[in-house]
Chain A
Amino acid sequence: MFGPEFERKVDRIVARYPEPKAALLPVLWLVQRTRGFVGLDAEAWVAERLGVGAAHVHGVVSFYTMYRQKQLGRYHIQLCTTLSCMLRGSDDLAAHLEKKLGIRPGETTPDGKFSLAKVECLGSCGTAPMLQLNDDYHENLTIDGLDRLLDGLP
């Protein structure tokens, strides 16, 4: 459903495994990388392509926290708030982000620029507090540093 190049990538993923179903997580990743989210139409397409039920695909998509069903903002801010980050001040960063962006975790700014989430441990505890901005980690954050980071985004 996303063109021949996409289909070729799917073929290559499927070929890595003894059973096509094992390609489910990677193919869902490919879909989300391509369009920004998964979506019910793509779930049905993936189910057909891999020979599994659409309900199974939906069950998998809803089990894992990183698959999403709608478009997020251009910048997805995922603030780690688990224990090591909490000890180093992530509560203050969370409050600052909510105030600065005017949104709560789980929401997107009206201009579609930022989405905010509080997430569980990202494995960056030695450089706490930290957040993941789209794919990248930003570590050892302060409120000033956070402002500089966000204010500098186009």
Chain B
Amino acid sequence: MERILTRNVGKEGSHTLAVYEASGGYQALRKALGAMTPEAVVEEVKRSGLRGRGGAGFPTGLKWSFMPKDAARPKYLICNADESEPGTFKDRVLIEKDPHLVLEGCLVSAFAMGARAAFVYIRGEYVHGARILERAIEEAYEKGYAGKNVLGSGFDCDLVLHVGAGAYICGEETSLMSSLEGNRGYPRLKPPFPAQAGLWGCPTTINNVETLACVPFIVERGGDWFLSIGKPPKNTGPKLYALSGHVKRPGVYEAPMGLPLRELIQNLGGGMLRDDRPLKAVIPGGSSVPVLTADECDVDLDFDSLAAKGSMLGSAAVIVMDSSTCMVRAIERVAHFYAHESCGQCTPCREGCGWMERVLARIERGEGRQEDLDLLLDVSSHILGHTVCPLGDAAAMPVASFVTKFRHEFQYHIDHKKCMV
């Protein structure tokens, strides 16, 4: 397949404006500003079937259409570059290797929504990526792609890089906005949705890096072209898959949406890390989503196929585990992550995440009690759906899925006070 999102990755100096322009960069911005109305851009994105690449999979064009059309208040776009979901490292490739693609995506999208500024919120740990984006933003201003009167069109749009400071929760959009405004990153209830009341109470749309990177291609080649890739009509376009764990060649791979999971592991990933250790389980969409057993791995990696299997595409971070993996230890480590990252605002999440971690730790240590397995399912079910933001669900779903699908391993730990593997 033609590489689209990663077409510049691997080229010398791919992060520079010169290389980006030489590969046809900023032509979509010229086309949008010169030959399209904002409404036409929104319509093209709607037609493309593009769904958010951050995890939720919400239709992007529809999300944009929630933004008010009038200019009563300033409108803002946020590029969510707070990539922090365990297993996910796809946006980092775009940020470091093709930052102008991300910026062009921001500018075209801001034009479509009438946003006067686009804030790129990048996680604090991505120091290298932030430096690259900072330089790319300077280049964009120097060449008139950003700032006042972009390319002489009368459209004004500032690009502002905003660096986070270490908090998984800030990837959640209301938390991100709270953080950007200079607060602790506490999420808030929706509604009101950001399109009604976002940054400083103004209409705001938040899109993931990869989502925005798709936009210039949709504008240049048309929504119908994008719609024809992958599994139309609902799972379309090129997709970045982040493969990690027990495979020979982990990494970021681009493929049409709906890539079969086994093809990713076997063909692109070079197969299992060790030939004597067969596949045991896969987390297909970042650590927040329910695990798949080896028997469940005949599935395509797209939103609807994974939902049909009771899991999620999430951020398309595929974590592969072989037969040497202790599932108790694996989920204990995942539970530790959520206990560490819970913002502490909602009681079910704050207390429940720590509780699940402590119970899992004692099972792992060989001090588990028979009632612990049902206790884990009980705690998980009382977090699920009972919190302001999805972090609670993200903590609860994997625990329930591990305990349910690998119950015999947890039972073995309790009975024999040691690992099965």
Contact = CB atoms under 8 A, between A and B. Distances in A.
A59 B184 CA distance: 7
A82 B391 CA distance: 17
A50 B181 CA distance: 12
Nearest to A122: B125
Contacts of B333: 81-83, 86
A130 to B, nearest CB: 10
Range for the number of chain B residues in contact with chain A: 35 or more
Contacts of A25: 162-165, 179-180, 182
A24 B330 CA distance: 37
Interface residues on chain A, size class = 35 or more
Interface string B244-255: 111000111000
B165 A29 contact: yes
A128 B244 contact: yes
A17 B242 CA distance: 34
A18 interface: yes
A95 to B, nearest CB: 15
B83 interface: yes
Contacts of A21: 181-183
Contacts of A121: 84-88, 287, 337
B101 interface: no
B245 A64 contact: no
A56 to B, nearest CB: 8
A22 B180 contact: yes
Interface in B259-279: none
Interface stretch (A2-10, A132-140, A146-154): A132-140
B366 to A, nearest CB: 17
A130 B343 CA distance: 26
B167 A83 contact: no
A40 interface: no
A126 B244 contact: yes
Nearest to A140: B250
Contacts of A122: 125
A88 B127 CA distance: 24
A23 interface: yes
Interface in A1-56: 16-19, 21-26, 28-29, 50, 52, 56
B251 A83 contact: no
A63 B164 contact: no
B243 interface: yes
A127 B165 contact: no
A28 B242 contact: no
Q: Name, among A16, A29, A64, A87, the residue most crowded by chain B CB atoms within 10 Å (CB to CB).
A: A87
B87 A125 contact: yes
Contacts of B84: 120-121, 123
A23 B123 CA distance: 16
Given A16-B158, A84-B319, A125-B317, 7 more contacts: A19-B200, A64-B124, A64-B167, A67-B165, A82-B337, A83-B283, A125-B87
12 contacts: A21-B181, A24-B183, A25-B162, A63-B167, A63-B184, A64-B167, A83-B245, A83-B283, A87-B244, A121-B84, A124-B89, A135-B127
